[in-house]
Structure 1
Amino acid sequence: MKDDTVKLGLKPTGPATERPISIAIVAMGGQGGGVLTGWIVNLAETHGWVAQSTSVPGVAQRTGATIYYVEMMRPGDGGQKPVLAQMPTPGDVDVVIASEFMEAGRSILRGIVTPDRTTLIASSHRSLAISEKMAPGDSIANNGAVSDAIGVVAKQEIVFDMNAMAVKNGSVISSAMFGSLAASGTLPFAREAYYDVIRKGGKGIDASIRAFDAAFDRTVNGPEMPQLEAPETPVATLPDSLRDKRANALLTRIRSELPEQAHAMAYLGLQKVVDFQDAAYGDEYLDILRNLTEADRAANGEAQGFAFTASAAKYLANAMAYDDVIRVARIKTQSARRQRVAEEVGLKTGQVLNTTEFMHPRMEEAASTLPVGLANWLKSRKSLYAWLDRRINKGRRIQTYRLTGFLPLHFVGALKGTRRMSLRHKTEVAHRDAWLADAAQALAQNYDLGVAMLTFRRLIKGYSDTHVRGHSKFEKVMQTTKSIAGRDDAAEWAQRLLTSAIKDASSKDLDGTIMTIESFSGT
C-alpha cells in the first residue's frame, strides 16, 4: 500500500523526555488571577523561555472560578519553539495555585493535583459560594475533607491564609501567591527576578513587594509560634443598670420576669428588637417571653434548665426583627455599614468610596410597606396593581453614597415609625403567633418537641423570593412534625426534618425525609 502521508522536516526542540513546566491557577473574580498569570508569563519570557497562557472563565457571582493555565519551556538549541498545551491535563500539572480553600478541593476533584508531581499552593481562607449562602441555615462546606485530601494527593503543600497576609500588607492575594510560588522552588528563577516583574506593573509596587516578601518568608520558615489567647468572655452579661430610664425598665423586667438561664439571650434579643423598632416593641418582646416562661414552668421547665424559654428568647427576636424593605434600606445607609465596607476594601486617605446596590424590588414588597387598609385596597384593584408592578418590578443599580441613591434609601428607612401599621407586619405577627402557639402546645406533651419547634424559625430569613422559599420549607417541616407529635421520637424526627431543610436548597432531601415519615405514620 502506498503511503501518501506528507512528512515535514520538523526537528524536536530537545530530548523526548523533556517537558514544559505547567501551572494551573484557580481564582475568582477580583483576586488577581489574570495579574498573577501575566507575572508568571513575563517572568519566563524575561529569561528567554517560551510561555503560553490561556483562561477559561467561570460563572459569575461565585458559582465558579476562572482557570488560568500557563506552560513554559526553554526553546531548542536551534531556536525551535515548543508546542504547548492550552488546558491542564490530569496527572501532568506541576503547580496548582488556588486563591480560596474550596477551589483547592475542586482542583483535587478535577484530578490535576497528583502526589507524584504537583505542588499545591492554596489560601486557607473561604469565600462562600452562592450555594452555601442560599441555604436557610448553615450550609458551609466542610474544610476538613479538603485538608485531609491535600495531605494525601499533593507532592508538596503550601497552605495558609494568603488573603489575610495580603490585606495586612495593603495588597491583594495575587502578590502573596506569587511570593509562595517563588519560595516553593518549582521555578528556576532568582528571587530578584520576581521583584523585577512586580516593578514592571507600575501600580502598588511597594505593597505588592511587602505581601510577596511576607508570603515568601512564611513559606520558607513556616508559621510563627501561636500566641496564647485570653479566655473567652461570656456572650452577654446583664449590666447592673442603664442610664436611659426606659432601657433600664426593660432590663429590670428581664431580671424579674424571666429565669436566670434565659437572661443573657433575652438581653441580646431585646437589643435586637429595640434597634429594629423602638422601646415599645421591646416591651412587646418581653410580654411574649413572659407568657412563654409561664408555659415553660407549667411543663416542669425548671428541671430542663428552662431550655424552652432560652431558645424562645433567641428565635422570637429573629422573628420580630424580620427583613423587610425598611430594614434593608436602613442597613444600607447606616454609617457603621460604610465603615465596615471601607475596612474590607482597605480604603486609604484621599480615596473616595462608592458602592452600587443591585436591587430588584417587586410590587409585592412595595405594597407590604403600606398600611393594611391601603395595601388591601390596592391589591383588590388588579389592573392598577399590575400597572404599578410593571414600573416597579425591574432591576436597578443604586449608588448608595451619591445623593440620588442615598436619599431614596434613607427615605424608605425612615418609614420605620409606620411599620407596625403595615401589611407586612400584620402578616409577620400572624405567622409568629401561630408558630409560638404550636410550640407551646407541643411543650405540654413533649418538652423536647416544643423546643425543636422553636428552632424551625431558622428556616425563615431574607426577603422576596428567599423569604417565600423559607416559608414554604417552614410549613412543610411544621405540618409534618405536627402529624407525628404523638410519637415518643417526634423531637428526633423534627430535628431530622430541620437538618434536611437547612442543608438542601432544592428541597429534595426534605421531601425524601417527609416521604420516610409518611411511610411509617400513615399520613
Structure 2
Amino acid sequence: MTQAQPIKIAILAMGGEGGGVLADWIVDLGEHNGYYAQTTSVPGVAQRTGATIYYVELFARDETEARAPILALMPLPGDVDVVLASELMEAGRAVQRGLVTPERTTLVASTHRVYSIAEKTAMGDGRVDDRALIAHAGQAAKRFVRFDMAQAAEASGSVISAVLFGALAGTGVLPFSRRQFEETIERGGVGVKPSLRAFDLGHARAGADEAADGAKDEARNQPQDKAQQRAPAPRDPAVARLLERVRTELPVEVQSFAVEGVRRLIDYQDPDYAALYLDRLAKLRGKVADAPEILLRETARHLALWMSYEDTIRVADLKTRASRFERVRGEVRAQADQLLAINEFMHPRIEEICETLPAGIGRWLARPHAVHRLVERHTKAGRVIKTSSLRGYLMLHAVARLRGMRRRTLRYELETARIEAWLQQIVQSAQHNPALAVEVAQCQRLVKGYSDTHARGLANYQTLMGAVVHAGARLAPATLRELRDAALADEHGHKLRAALARHALA
C-alpha cells in the first residue's frame, strides 16, 4: 500500500507583497477542509528589501489514525508540488535552488520585475533577460502559469498575494473548490472585497490557455506596427521644424532614435538645444562619407544621452516634478487623505557647486583659496532636504529654475568640450575603420550618473579614450569592446587597468 504524502507548497515573495498572508490563507484553507496544515518561513535580508521563502505542507486527515503527522519545516530540492513566485526573478531563484522539477512542480509566477541591487548598480545594462528567465522556468516546470500579477493587483486595488491565491485556485492542482478558496478570504475579514476582485482576476488568467499566454508574451516583445508608432503632429512650430529636419536629414533607420533624442533634449533644455543636437549629427554625417547606418544610429542615441547629462539643475528638476510625487504616492499606496514625507539625501561636492555657477565664477571658486575651503567645509556632511515640505521644495525648485542659464555654466563648458572631442574621435576612427568608430560611439555608456558616480565613470572613459588615441589604427574593434566591457564591469577601474595591461595599452 502506497503511503500518503503531504502536498508541498513553496512561496517566494518580497517584503510588503503579502507572502505571509498568502501562506496563512493556504493553511486556513487546508484546516477548514479536512487537512493538517503547517507553515514556516525563512526571511531574507539581501537584494530587494529581502525575499522570504514561506513553506506550507498540507496532509489529509485520517480519522482512523490517532497520530498526527510530522511535517517538514523547509522545502527540499526536487520535492515540491507547487511553487508560487511573486516576481519573475523569484521564479528564477526557485528554479536555481532546484525547487522546480519537470516531473512534479506547478510553477505560478508573476512576470513583472523588481530589479535587484546588482541590476540597478551595474555601470552598464545589468538587467537579467526576462525572456531567458521565462524560457528556463518553462523548461524546469511541469506546468508554468505566468502573467503580470502586479498589474492585476493594481487594477483590483489589492496586492499580489490575492492574485497568486486566485491563480493557485485556477490551476486546479489543490483538491479544493473555488468556493472554498473564496470562503478563506472571507474568513480573514480584512480587505475582503478588493482581495476577492484580485482573486477573480488571478483565477481567470490561470484558467486561460497557456499557449495563448505564450503568444501574448511573444507579441509583447515584437515591434509595434509603424502606424501605431506614428506620433501626432506637434502643435509647436519649433518642434515641428525639428521633426521635419529629422525626416529630411537622416536615414529612416536612424530617425526613431533621433526623434527620441529631440524629445529628450527639449524636455532637458529647450528646442534650440535639440537643434544643436541635430546640427552635431548633420556635421558628423557630412564629415564621414557613406557613414554606415549603425554608426549614425549609435551616435544619435549616445549623443542625446550625453547632452542630457545629470547636473545639479537636472537632478533638482526631476526631484520636484509633479509626476515624481504622484509616482512615489502610487508606489507606497498612499491614500488621498494621507500625508507623505519625502526626504532627499543630498551630498553635493565642491565640484558640483563650482560647475553650476557661470563658467568664470566657477573656475575661480574651483581654485584653492579661502572661499573654496570654506564652501568645501560645508559640503562634507551632506544634507537631508524634505521636498514634501514647502521650504525643501522651494529650495530645489529654485535650483531647477537655473535651467535658463545652464548653457553659461562651467559644467556646460566642460561637457561641450568632452562631447566635441568624442565626436572628433568618432570621425577619425571612421576614416580608417567604421566598426571601430561604432565602438568609440558606444564608449559614452561610461559617462553617466551624478557626483561621485559620474566622476568615476568619466575617469574610466578618459582612460579608455587615451588608449584609443595611443593605439590609433592598430586598435581592433573587438579589443575596444573588451576594454569597454571591463570598464563597465568595475566602476573603480581595476578590471579596465588589468585589460589594458593584457593588451599592452596601459
State the TM-score bracket (shorter-chain normalisation): 0.7 to 0.9
User: Judging changes above 3 Å, is the alpha-carbon distance between structure 1 residues 341 and 23 closer, same or farther for their aligned structure 2 residues?
Assistant: same
1:231 aligns with 2:199: no
Q: Partner residue of 2:440?
A: 453
Counterpart amino acid of residue 261 in structure 2: G
- After superposition, the C-alpha distances for 1:115-140 in whole angstroms (9 at most, x for unaligned) are 34322221222222121222233222
Name 2:167's counterpart in structure 1: 180
* Post-superposition CA distance 1:263-291 (Å, at most 9, x none): 55444323322321234433433443343
Q: Give SS of 1:485's match.
A: helix
Match of 1:69 in 2: 55
Aligned-partner Cα distance in 2 for 1:203–1:336: 31
CA contact (8 A) 2:348 2:379 kept: yes
Query: Does 2:19 correspond to 1:33?
Result: yes
- SS of 1:70 mapped into structure 2: strand
SS in structure 2 opposite 1:59? coil
1:214 aligns with 2:201: yes
Match of 1:384 among 374, 395, 405: 374
Counterparts of 1:388 and 1:293, CA distance in 2: 47
Contact 1:170 1:346 in 2 (8 A): no
**Corresponding residue number in structure 2 for 1:44:** 30
Amino acid at match of 2:357: L
Could you give the per-residue CA deviations for residues 419-472 of structure 1, whole angstroms, max 9, x where no partner exists? Answer: 233333233223222222222222222223223211211222221333233223
Whether the aligned pair in 1 keeps the contact of 2:83 and 2:100 (CA below 8 Å) is: yes
User: Do 1:167 and 1:346's aligned partners in 2 also have CA atoms closer than 8 Å?
Assistant: no
The letter of the residue matching 2:121 is M
Residue equivalent to 1:301: 290
In 2, are the aligned partners of 1:169 and 1:207 still within 8 Å (CA)?
yes
Q: Could you tell me the percent identity over the aligned residues? A: 39
The verdict on how the C-alpha distance between 1:515 and 1:97 changes in structure 2, with shifts beyond 3 A counting, is farther
Q: Aligned pair count?
A: 493
- Does 1:275 find its partner at 2:267? yes
For residues 504 and 383 of structure 1, do their structure 2 counterparts lie closer, same or farther at Cα, with a shift above 3 Å needed?
Answer: closer
TM-score (norm 1): 0.81
Alignment of 1:495-514 (within 5 A): 495-502=481-488, 513-514=499-500
Instruction: Supply the distance in 2 between the matched residues of 1:511 and 1:168 (Cα, whole angstroms).
Output: 50
| Structure number, greater radius of gyration | 1
Q: Find the aligned partners of 1:137 and 1:325 in 2 and give their Cα distance.
A: 22
Give 1:179 deviation, angstroms.
1.2
Q: What's the CA shift string for 1:286-334, capped at 9, x where partnerless?
A: 44334323312xxx226x35x5444433322211111122212212322
Q: Distance in 2 between matches of 1:440 and 1:238?
A: 35
| CA displacement, residues 197-238 of structure 1 (integer Å, 9 cap, x when unaligned) | 212333432222122122223323325587899723486779
Confirm whether residue 491 of structure 1 aligns to residue 485 of structure 2: no
Q: Secondary structure at the match of 1:212?
A: helix
SS of the aligned residue for 1:390 comes to: coil
In structure 2, the CA distance between the partners of 1:96 and 1:317, relative to structure 1 (3 Å rule), is: same
- Give the structure 2 partner of residue 408 of structure 1: 395
Q: Pick from 462, 471, 494: which aligns with 2:458?
A: 471
- CA separation of 1:362/1:263 partners in 2, compared to 1, >3 Å: closer, same or farther? same
Is the contact between residue 139 and residue 502 of structure 1 (CA under 8 Å) also seen in structure 2?
no
**Equivalent position SS for 1:492:** helix
Residue 123 in 1 paired to residue 110 in 2? yes
The residue aligned with 1:7 is: none
User: Once structures 1 and 2 are overlaid, which stretch shifts more, 336-345 or 30-39?
Assistant: 336-345
1:319 & 1:25 partners in 2: Cα distance? 43
- Opposite residue 345 of structure 2, the aligned amino acid is M
CA separation of 1:234 and 1:493: change in aligned 2, threshold 3 A: farther
* TM-score of the aligned structures, taking structure 2 as reference length: 0.83
- How does 1:11-30 map onto structure 2 within 5 Å? 17-30=3-16
Aligned to 2:128: 141
- Determine the structure 1 residue equivalent to 2:314: 327
Offset, 1:172: 1.9
The residue aligned with 1:359 is 345
Q: 1:74, CA displacement in angstroms?
A: 4.9
Query: Map of 1:147-296 to 2, 5 A cutoff?
Result: 147-223=134-210, 231-233=225-227, 243-244=236-237, 246-247=238-239, 250=242, 258-260=249-251, 264-296=256-288
Q: CA separation in 2, counterparts of 1:512 and 1:59? A: 33
Letter of the 1:388 counterpart: H
Q: Is the 8 A contact 1:301 1:308 kept in 2?
A: no
Cα separation, 1, equivalents of 2:154 and 2:229: 28
Which residue, 102, 105, 110 being the options, matches 2:89? 102
Shift of residue 377 of structure 1? Answer: 4.7
Give how far 1:500 is off. Answer: 4.7
The 8 Å contact of residues 456 and 491 in structure 2, kept in 1 or not, is answered as no
Secondary structure of 1:67's partner?
A: strand
Contact 1:63 1:129 in 2 (8 A): no
SS of 1:90's partner is coil
Structure 1: how far apart are the matches of 2:209 and 2:202?
Answer: 10
For 2:431, the aligned partner's letter is: A
* Deviates further, 75-84 or 331-340: 75-84
Alpha-carbon spacing, 1:178–1:404, altered in 2? closer, same or farther (3 Å):
farther
Unaligned runs of 5+ in 1: 1-14
Q: What are the ranges of 5 or more consecutive residues in structure 2 without an aligned counterpart?
A: none
Instruction: Please provide the CA RMSD for this pair.
Output: 3.6
